[in-house]
């Protein structure tokens, strides 16, 4: 896309674009290239000298069982959160899309958790399911489960999935609702005339037409779980118990800060960058497809 009319001169546009360029180069490209460079270096124990070690940081990364565990944790965490938040949001959006009274009010009451910071969301759920004082821990204990997210990794993961899902539903709900409202009513009416009941209409007409939205949300949700859940994990479990809820992003943070292993942390950053670029590429391919729709 190009404008037909232009303003002449080129010093002014260069001045206009300069602030963004400067900030982008200083805070994006410089650190990103530093990360790539550092991932090939190893610092000595005192951080005084560093030598070029090639792919050694990457190799030792893939020799760590902890790294595989973080990968598995991230995979489980993302798929659970993506699945539950998409499913709940779709259910709520289909109901809100029905022509009912007070639909707008329901919408308002469902979207505001978007505004709650991930770390705060984590604190709210931790309080609710706290092993000793949580309001909802008592009923769980009453049915005979020794609920303790501080000590039990499965319980910790459950709590993380619940809080991350809670926070993400509002976002997915908004996009699903917009997607549903964009489906022409005539298509649904035609299906109804052909004798398709509500469920059949949903699975054979609405759900396939909604698939671009669903796919888009799937990618966004995975990115969300990768990065934005850092606050939730840090507030609720701190990666524990015994590192069992440490995701890839949390490990970059923990290894660099607590362990001081900058080379290893940089190598992890580079791998994460590759994952993000792959996910973004997938998303853009999909966007192109949508244009042709």
Partner 1 sequence: MVENRPFAQFMAYLTLALGVVIVAFPVYLAVMASTFDTATIINGNMPLVPGNQADENYTRTLLYGGMHARQPVGGMMLNSMIMALGIAIGKILISILSAFAVVYFKFPFRKTAFWIIFITLMLPVEVRIYPTYKIVADLGLLDTYTGLVMPLIASATGTLLFRQFFMTIPDELLEASKIDGAGAFRFFKDTLLPLSMTTIAALFVIQFIYGWNQYLWPLLITTKSSMQTIVIGIKMMITTTDALTEWNVAMTTAVLAMLPPVLVVIFMQRLFVKGLVETEK
Segment 195-214, which members bind partner 1 (CB under 8 A)? 198, 201
Residues 209/185, Cβ–Cβ less than 8 Å = no
Question: Which residues from 141-170 bind partner 1, rule CB under 8 A?
Answer: 166, 169-170
Residue whose token pair is 């850092």: 230
Shortest distance (Å) from residue 24 CB to partner 1: 5
Burial class of residue 65 (count of CB atoms within 10 Å of its CB; 0-12, 13-18, 19+): exposed
Residue closest to 218 by CA, chosen among 114, 86, 118, 94: 86
Residues 93/177, Cβ–Cβ less than 8 Å = yes
User: Total number of residues binding partner 1 (CB under 8 A)?
Assistant: 99
**What are phi and psi for residue 243, nearest 5 degrees?**
70, 15
Question: Which residues from 230-289 bind partner 1, rule CB under 8 A?
Answer: 230-231, 234-235, 249, 252-253, 256-257, 262, 265-266, 269, 272-273, 276-277, 280, 287
Stretch that binds partner 1, among 24-32, 45-53, 64-72, 79-87 (CB under 8 A): 24-32
Question: Which residues from 126-145 bind partner 1, rule CB under 8 A?
Answer: 126-128, 132-135, 137-138
Q: Compare residues 72 and 273 and give the one whose CB is closer to partner 1.
A: 273
Stretch that binds partner 1, among 19-27, 47-55, 65-73, 77-85 (CB under 8 A): 19-27
Residue closest to 158 by CA, chosen among 112, 134, 198, 126: 126
Q: Compare residues 44 and 132 and give the one whose CB is closer to partner 1.
A: 132
Stretch that binds partner 1, among 16-24, 50-58, 59-67, 207-215 (CB under 8 A): 16-24
**The two structure tokens encoding residue 63:** 């020799």
What are the CA-CA distances from residue 221 to residues 81, 103, 150 (Å)?
8, 25, 26
What are the CA-CA distances from residue 259 to residues 45, 265, 293 (Å)?
12, 9, 50
Question: Which residues from 86-115 bind partner 1, rule CB under 8 A?
Answer: 88, 91-92, 95-96, 98-100, 106, 108-115
**The two structure tokens encoding residue 74:** 């991230």
Question: Which residues from 170-189 bind partner 1, rule CB under 8 A?
Answer: 170-171, 174-175, 178, 188-189
Largest CA distance in the chain: 77
User: Binding mask 41-80 vs partner 1 (x if CB under 8 A, - otherwise)?
Assistant: ----------------------------------------
Q: Is 16 in the site for partner 1 (CB under 8 A)?
A: yes
């Amino acid at each position: 896309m190009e404008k037909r009319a232009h303003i002449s001169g080129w010093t002014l546009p260069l001045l206009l674009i300069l602030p963004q360029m400067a900030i982008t180069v200083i805070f994006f490209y410089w650190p990103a290239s530093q990360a790539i460079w550092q991932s090939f270096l190893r610092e000595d124990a005192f951080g005084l000298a560093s030598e070029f070690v090639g792919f050694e940081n990457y190799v030792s990364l893939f020799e760590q069982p902890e790294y595989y565990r973080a990968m598995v944790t991230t995979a489980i965490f993302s798929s659970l959160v993506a699945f539950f938040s998409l499913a709940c949001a779709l259910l709520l959006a289909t109901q809100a899309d029905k022509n009912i009274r007070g639909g707008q009010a329901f919408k308002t009451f469902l979207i505001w958790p978007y505004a709650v910071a991930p770390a705060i969301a984590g604190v709210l759920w931790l309080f609710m399911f706290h092993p000793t004082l949580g309001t909802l821990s008592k009923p769980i204990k009453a049915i005979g489960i020794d609920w303790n997210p501080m000590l039990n990794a499965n319980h910790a993961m459950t709590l993380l999935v619940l809080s991350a899902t809670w926070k993400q539903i509002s976002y997915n709900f908004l996009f699903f609702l917009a997607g549903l409202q964009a489906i022409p009513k005539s298509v649904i009416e035609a299906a109804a005339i052909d004798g398709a009941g509500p469920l059949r209409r949903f699975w054979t007409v609405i759900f396939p037409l909604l698939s671009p939205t669903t796919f888009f949300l799937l990618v966004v949700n995975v990115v969300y779980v990768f990065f934005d859940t850092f606050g939730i994990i840090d507030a609720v479990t701190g990666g524990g118990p015994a590192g069992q809820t440490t995701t890839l992003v949390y490990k970059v943070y923990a290894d660099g800060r607590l362990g001081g292993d900058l080379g290893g942390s940089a190598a992890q950053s580079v791998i994460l960058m590759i994952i993000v670029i792959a996910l973004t590429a997938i998303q853009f391919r999909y966007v192109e497809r949508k244009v042709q729709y």
